[in-house]
Amino acid sequence: MSRLFAPTLREAPAEAEVASHRLLVRAGLARQLMAGVYTMLPLGLRTLRKIEAIVRDEMDAAGAQELRMPIVVPSEPWKATGRWEAYGDLMFKLVDRRERELGLGPTHEEVITPLAAADLPSYRDLPVNLYQVGWKYRDELRPRFGLIRGREFLMKDAYSFDRDEEGMRQSYRAMYEAYRRVFDRCGLEYVVVEADPGQIGGGVNHEYMALAEVGEDLFVRCENDDYLADVEAATPAAPPTAEGPGVAALEEVHTPGAATIDAVSSLLGRPPSRMLKCMLYAAGEADVAVLVPGDREVNEEKLARLYFPVPVSPFGEADFARRDLPPGYVGPQGLPADVTVLADPSVRAGRDWVAGANRPDHHVTGAKQGRDFRVDRFEELVRIREGDRCPNDGGELSIGRSIVVGHIYQLGTRYSEPLGATFADEDGTARPYRMGSYGIGISRIVAAAVEQHHDEAGIAWPRALAPYEAVVVPTNMDVPRVVAAAERIHGELTGAGVEAVLDDREVSAGVKFADADLIGFPVQVTVGRRGIEEGVADLKVRATGERFRAPLEGAARAARDLLAAAP
Amino acid sequence: MSRLFAPTLREAPAEAEVASHRLLVRAGLARQLMAGVYTMLPLGLRTLRKIEAIVRDEMDAAGAQELRMPIVVPSEPWKATGRWEAYGDLMFKLVDRRERELGLGPTHEEVITPLAAADLPSYRDLPVNLYQVGWKYRDELRPRFGLIRGREFLMKDAYSFDRDEEGMRQSYRAMYEAYRRVFDRCGLEYVVVEADPGQIGGGVNHEYMALAEVGEDLFVRCENDDYLADVEAATPAAPPTAEGPGVAALEEVHTPGAATIDAVSSLLGRPPSRMLKCMLYAAGEADVAVLVPGDREVNEEKLARLYFPVPVSPFGEADFARRDLPPGYVGPQGLPADVTVLADPSVRAGRDWVAGANRPDHHVTGAKQGRDFRVDRFEELVRIREGDRCPNDGGELSIGRSIVVGHIYQLGTRYSEPLGATFADEDGTARPYRMGSYGIGISRIVAAAVEQHHDEAGIAWPRALAPYEAVVVPTNMDVPRVVAAAERIHGELTGAGVEAVLDDREVSAGVKFADADLIGFPVQVTVGRRGIEEGVADLKVRATGERFRAPLEGAARAARDLLAAAP
């Protein structure tokens, strides 16, 4: 450690909001170069490499093959798939000296798909799963939390090519299982959930979410453990459809200045759940109204997915003016036929809604679907919340926080179609590949692991991810017998294949102990003046804090036993 | 090989001008994504990884430590060192969503130097050598020759930080030797030469040049093997200084239309070596005249280095007009004092030069330095050529062609000064680091190795770089005993740690042999129907073409012996 470039710090950087960011910097694993962009110092790089090795091992075992695609990518295929627009500012874009537009790849569907078309021309070449481990780029609006949401991050991305849907599902299942093994081996506590495909597009997809209090990725879980979903993909059980007669007539009421659900609710003495929220959106050239009960929010990610790749944005002032509708007083009654009216199934539960009257300072009561307003299509569009009911068994749903560390997608022909990527099938027909894509956030795993394995004193690495497995600490560098014993134990450990460092720095024992706890070596072996006299070394398991003593000559063996049992 | 993604091609891509480009594509190791940007397919990636492993091994053995710096870099430190301007269009530049200027790093002095200043604050922390293996970017004007001159390329770059010049030279020597070991282990034929530092700047530096007929990097070698230099850095022995009296007087002669050396030479019947070439350059705000004999060219790279980081460009029409000088008729007589007059030492060899008269259609004869024109400074500025004399022993110099695969630099304070990167020395003084920087072109080594090791049939990998060391070829997939024997030999080889593939494709033996030669596995083991009957396998060493037979049960052993002896 006297030569190791592992600069530890007593103070965390001011901008570090979460433990992993603070500790990765303080323990000398990473340094920020600029917002969302980090240098990995030697210890941090070792941890990254360990995760890479686990990932490669499981990918190879699952029959995938590694290649390496460029980081700078041409814009043309991205324009063909619509993602050049869809990513927008989130993609780093540049122009080369020949004025050609280029991007820095956030994922590589647009590179691998044409490659497959050129080099996997026949059904006999399929199935194939190709992966790479490389740095990816997203120009995040708010990069934060260190390695959790960076603008440059290390990913493993894999792409499967199959002849048909059944083959694609098989490839997907193989990856689904391989991913579980990766995250198990990384020592992460995680859940696998149904998820929203986001900008990648496609159909069935799952997220691997590492549980973390600071995580920004929310998931929904049923109290009976039979439902798990990403909060953006989750669908609560809809309340029962209202039935029977006895519905009031439509009536206009004066509601001056009551342009919000809460205001109308107070004014009319009706709970927000009895109000009908009518939100307007522009989806490209078309206009869309979305109806949800007044106490619910629209899940705009799902709405965006319905219209992907056409961008969807809430009505602005100009939009309201164009339609001659009063913001805050819009209701579904009498909306023009060219406004698509979508409603969440929960709207079926009401029969006499309070809604805007499409006239300033007025609402209606007794609005009824079918009689007073039309619904063109029902879509599950309410954002889920704590206490909603499980769609499987009606159990109570709760919301958990996590960091997404893996995401797998059944893409179908989402990319092969627009890119014209086809293979010759047995009968000679040109058919588009059925694809899957599979990502693991390797640098993010580093941060997620620290979030799950740390305490006040520092990081407590699981053995599989630790930059070094053990540290040997001679407390008195001025006592030759102490140094000699520590060197011998260190030599025995490395000789036995343990990744161990010797803390031979000329600093106080207190500094060495603090750094050992901060960096988080799973096992610490301490040799001091008194220990030498008694013929013993002190051992400590970082994760549990347990302490042991062992005879000097058996210390390396004892350290190995503790490591073998360590998490 | 039935599952390996190694798509071989019968035809080379039209744009491939050199063997390595043709063969890396045909053998299924690489695919072009766009000009100068390549995807490395599984076999190509394996070779890259082998080179990486050799490099890491030697860097670690030399005491360097690996870290990983970002690819996107902020512009500010690049502006501070002058390289943002100096690189110009050669650097990929972009702007992020917050309008911050960023670049894609061609090298990383501007990242590592501030890092050292923050984290190596004391002389006690030195010396340190930090390296990384990563993709680098140069927006080449003419990317060509496949991996030889790409816009994205894999580099190992290392940076040493020392307390003083002597420490820097020690660090440099350690790298100098480590580099020799790297290139030796890669099986490359190469020379190490003194070189020009180019845009990196600094002083002493060496290039490692892999010999290659197609190489664009020229070096100069003395017939007596006591001088080697990059052509841009080479300095020929200057001819002896002319002495004695008997010099003609300065005389103006009419030379209508003779604006070139050749024209004046014919007109006056004097050889070009007796003419004085006076070239004018603008170096930022200043003007410079460079004098060389008429049969020589100015080494503009060296001139640029003299003025670095101020850009130097030859006089254009506007410059001549500004100085009221006639292009083609410029001589050094009477040049204004604010024009710096540089002369190559070979100008000392002449006493009565023919030079331009600074008047259209006129020259002068009998021009003599000191009497008729001044020289402000002598600088070695002639471009070397075949047949020049060695500066060490006067031996004949010849020019060789190569591909630069490594370049090491003594940077001194070239970066630490402008970036204000200092450490606290023992007496408390803040001193700038003495730095070195050290690059290896890993992806370029792949191409250089292929240039040195190929024939008509394909690549003939040296063992250390081969994607797989051996291939086992069953010629008749429909004969179970053939397949079984081949599988057994393949199993024995992999069991013994040999990286072997089994060519189990349902294609003809001819296709298998052609692909084996094309991909270039160092050893081929063939099992055929007749061999099975005779109980023998056929072995071939790819590099030499030698063929052997071995009993089936000894075939794996024989293959290992051949591999052990292979280059």
Structure confidence at residue A199 (pLDDT) = 59
Cis omega (within 30 of 0) for bond into A309? yes
As a residue count, chain A comes to 567
A108-117 pLDDT, tens digit each = 999 999 999 9
- What is the DSSP track for B107-119? S-HHHHHHHHHHH
Structure confidence at residue B197 (pLDDT) = 61
Element (H, E) at B302: helix B300-307
How far does B468 lie from chain A, in Å, by closest CA?
15
Mean pLDDT of A389-400: 92
Domain ranges (residues) in chain A = 19-234+399-450, 251-378, 468-565
Residue A506 predicted with pLDDT over 90 = yes
Residue type, B552: L
Query: Residue A45 and residue B66: Cα distance in Å, rounded?
Result: 8
Structure confidence at residue A287 (pLDDT) = 96
- Interchain CB distance below 8 Å, A37 and B70: yes
Mean pLDDT of A23-44: 97
- Interchain CB distance below 8 Å, A71 and B130: no
Q: B interface mutation test: which of A2, A5, A108 has the most B CBs within 10 A?
A: A5
Quick one: tokens of A367?
A: 């609005």
Query: Residue A125 and residue B284: Cα distance in Å, rounded?
Result: 60
Q: How many CA atoms lie within 13 A of B273 on its CB side?
A: 5
- Strand order from edge to edge, sheet including B377-378: B312-314, B276-283, B286-293, B339-343, B377-378
Parallel, antiparallel, or unpaired for β B286-293 and B339-343? parallel
Residue type, A550: A
Give the fold, CATH level 3, of B19-234+399-450: BirA Bifunctional Protein; domain 2 (3.30.930)
Mean pLDDT of A353-370: 94
- Interchain CB distance below 8 Å, A68 and B5: no
Mean pLDDT of A166-180: 97
The C-alpha torsion from B323 through B325 and B328 to B330, rounded to 10°, is: -90
Q: B interface mutation test: which of A33, A93, A125, A136 has the most B CBs within 10 A?
A: A33
DSSP letter, residue A383: P
Residue A260 predicted with pLDDT over 80 = yes
Structure confidence at residue B341 (pLDDT) = 97
Query: Residue A268 and residue B553: Cα distance in Å, rounded?
Result: 94
Query: Residue A352 and residue A368: Cα distance in Å, rounded?
Result: 5
- Interchain CB distance below 8 Å, B40 and A68: yes
DSSP three-state, residue A88: helix
Cβ count within 10 A of residue B325: 23
Helix axes B442-452 and B19-26, enclosed angle (nearest 10): 100
Least Cα distance to B254 among B381, B88, B365, B142 occurs for B365
Cβ contacts of A45 on chain B, cutoff 8 Å? 66-68
Q: What are phi and psi of B242, to 5 degrees?
A: -70, 135
pTM above 0.95, yes or no: no
The 3 state secondary structure assigned to B376-413 is CEECCCECCCCCCECCCCCCEEEEEEEEEEEEEEEEEC
CATH class of the B251-378 domain in this structure = alpha beta
How far does A466 lie from chain B, in Å, by closest CA?
16
Structure confidence at residue A201 (pLDDT) = 59
DSSP three-state, residue A343: strand
Q: Which residue of B has its CA nearest to A47?
A: B67
- Interchain CB distance below 8 Å, A92 and B94: yes
Element (H, E) at A117: helix A109-119
Burial A392-430 (b: 16+ CB within 10 A, else e): eeebebeebebbbbbbbbbbbbbbbebbebbbeeeeeee
Quick one: tokens of B544?
A: 């030499």
A272 burial level (CB within 10 Å; 0-12, 13-18, 19+): middle
Residue A417 predicted with pLDDT over 80 = yes
- Interchain CB distance below 8 Å, A74 and B39: no
Q: Does residue B191 contact residue B402 with C-beta atoms inside 8 Å?
A: yes
Quick one: tokens of B475?
A: 């010629």
Least Cα distance to A183 among A400, A405, A24, A20 occurs for A405
Mean pLDDT of A431-456: 98
B427 burial level (CB within 10 Å; 0-12, 13-18, 19+): exposed
Residue A486 predicted with pLDDT over 90 = yes
| Residue-level pLDDT, tens digit, chain B, 567 residues | 999 999 999 998 888 999 999 999 999 999 999 999 999 999 999 999 999 999 999 999 999 999 999 999 999 999 999 999 989 999 999 999 999 999 999 999 999 999 999 999 999 999 999 999 999 999 999 998 999 999 999 999 999 999 999 999 999 999 999 999 999 999 999 999 988 666 556 678 999 999 999 999 999 999 998 888 888 888 888 877 776 555 788 999 999 999 899 999 999 999 999 999 999 999 999 999 999 999 999 999 889 888 877 889 999 999 999 999 999 999 999 899 999 999 999 998 888 899 999 999 999 999 999 999 999 999 999 999 989 999 889 999 999 999 999 999 999 999 999 999 999 999 999 999 999 999 999 999 999 999 999 999 999 999 999 999 999 999 999 999 999 999 999 999 999 999 999 999 999 999 999 999 999 999 999 999 999 999 999 999 999 999 999 999 999 999 999 999 987
Residue A121 predicted with pLDDT over 70 = yes
**Which residues neighbour A227 within 8 Å (Cβ) at sequence distance 6 or greater?**
A220, A221, A390, A391, A392, A393, A395, A397
**Which residues neighbour B415 within 8 Å (Cβ) at sequence distance 6 or greater?**
B81, B109, B110, B113, B421, B435
DSSP letter, residue B275: B
Structure confidence at residue B234 (pLDDT) = 84
CA dist list (Å): A533 to A480, A529, A530, A548: 13, 7, 5, 17
What's the pLDDT band for A197 if we cut at 50, 70, 90? low
Query: Residue A358 and residue A136: Cα distance in Å, rounded?
Result: 48
Q: Which of A31, A67, A104 is closest, CB to CB, to B40? A: A67
Cis omega (within 30 of 0) for bond into A127? yes
DSSP letter, residue B68: B
Quick one: tokens of A54?
A: 């686990």
Q: A interface mutation test: which of B5, B38, B73, B142 has the most A CBs within 10 A?
A: B5
Least Cα distance to B342 among B274, B250, B278 occurs for B278
Cβ contacts of A44 on chain B, cutoff 8 Å? 67-68
- Interchain CB distance below 8 Å, B68 and A48: yes
Strands (E), A352-499: 353-356, 362-367, 377-378, 397-412, 422-424, 430-432, 434-441, 454-455, 458-459, 470-474
Residue A247 predicted with pLDDT over 90 = no
Structure confidence at residue B199 (pLDDT) = 59
Structure confidence at residue A198 (pLDDT) = 62
- Interchain CB distance below 8 Å, B68 and A89: no
A530 burial level (CB within 10 Å; 0-12, 13-18, 19+): exposed
Structure confidence at residue A311 (pLDDT) = 86
- Interchain CB distance below 8 Å, B139 and A96: yes
Cβ contacts of A135 on chain B, cutoff 8 Å? 71, 135
For domain A468-565, is the CATH number 3.40.50.720?
no
- Interchain CB distance below 8 Å, A115 and B31: yes
